[in-house]
Amino acid sequence: MKHVSTWTVGSVSVTRVEEQLGFASFPPESYFAGFERDVLDRHLGWLEPNHYRRETNQLITSVHSWLIRTGRHTILLDGCAGNHKERSWLPRFHQLDTPWLERLRAAGAAPEDIDVVLCTHLHEDHLGWNTRLRDGRWVPTFPNATYLFSREENDYWDPTQHPDAPEEPIRKVLYRDSVLPVIEAGQALLIEGTHAIDDELRVEPAPGHTPRLVILKLDAGGERAVFCGDVLHHALQVYAPHWNSRFCVLPEQARSTRRRVLEHCAGEGALLFPAHFGAPHVAAIAAEARGFSVQFVPPSD
């Protein structure tokens, strides 16, 4: 099993850096709102063995980062769950001790090489490696990087902006160990609306899963890609875009955004780089009479 794999989009290199690959914390019936067993059954032929295990009725999901190298930037998109983080409410991400940093180095990038970090949203499995524990303190993992956060997403989770809100885990723990240290170090840039990283990369709002999740669009010499974060959690949603995950906070917007992203990929020939699809992790999307279909794209290395 490869923990590091690379795709090429035009002149841009995109490398998947895996933190973990395994079973989702919930069966499909409770993972997806509106789940229909017959949809899953129709697709068993390709779902097994990389996306679903029939014997135990378990979805297979990945947690990984995307390392994107252009001629000007070395970008890390989504920092997985991270090591030594208190996540007792989600055992899959609790007090991990993984070799993710070693895998990043194996991909050819030391933490000091990263100059942009983009968090698609502020959930446990997308920003843990923003920081690491050093001498008992959480410090930015990437000392030379500008960290991009959606301002609206940040404002939603920032506990100081919601003093009367219940102290749910993301505000009470995650924000303080994985976002606030970056802000205090002066490395955060809060972005609004559409934001260009350079001529090839553009950040766009894609609300629904969270109030202001963002996606990253790549256009390199006419070859295109979309890094969609949690707009889709599982490849089966390509065939059932009306299914939301149990974690989507704005259901109608989540469905609308998901369909919009799929339509863009199908219409523009843009490869889909999701955050959690099983192997081989990257997909080409086609429009069909009854919706969409997926064809997986193996890495180029």
Q: Give the strands of the sheet with 223-229, arranged side by side.
A: 195-196, 201-205, 214-220, 223-229, 271-274, 283-288, 291-296
Instruction: Kindly report, residue by residue over 37-71, the tens digit of the pLDDT.
Output: 999 999 999 999 999 999 999 999 999 999 999 99
Percent pLDDT > 70 in the chain is 99
Per-residue DSSP letters for 227-253? EEETS-SSGGGGT-TTPEETT-SSHHH
β-pairing, 74-77 vs 58-69, is antiparallel
Give the pLDDT band of residue 138 (cuts 50, 70, 90).
very high
Percent pLDDT > 90 in the chain is 92
Phi, psi for residue 16 in degrees, rounded to 5: -85, 130
Instruction: Kindly report, residue by residue over 222-279, the tens digit of the pLDDT.
Output: 999 999 999 999 999 999 999 999 999 999 999 999 999 999 999 999 999 999 999 9
Residue 89 CA to residue 11 CA, distance in Å, equals 41
Contact 140, 181 (CB under 8 A): yes
Residue 215 CA to residue 187 CA, distance in Å, equals 21
Helix, coil or strand: residue 35: coil
List b or e across 246-281, with b for residues whose CB sees 16 or more CB atoms inside 10 angstroms. Answer: eebebeebbbebbeebbebbbeeebbbbbbbbbbeb
Q: How far apart are the first and last CA of the chain?
A: 14
Helix, coil or strand: residue 66: strand
Contact 266, 260 (CB under 8 A): no
Q: Tell me the average pLDDT across 95-123.
A: 98
Q: What is the 8-class DSSP label of residue 210?
A: S
Q: Domain 4-296 carries which CATH code?
A: 3.60.15.10
Looking at per-residue confidence, does 301 or 249 come out higher?
249
- Residue 1, pLDDT score: 64
Mean model confidence pLDDT for the chain: 96
pLDDT of 220 > 70? The answer is yes
- Residue 168, pLDDT score: 73
Residue 128 CA to residue 274 CA, distance in Å, equals 18
The structure's pTM equals 0.96
pLDDT of 96 > 70? The answer is yes
Give the pLDDT band of residue 172 (cuts 50, 70, 90).
confident
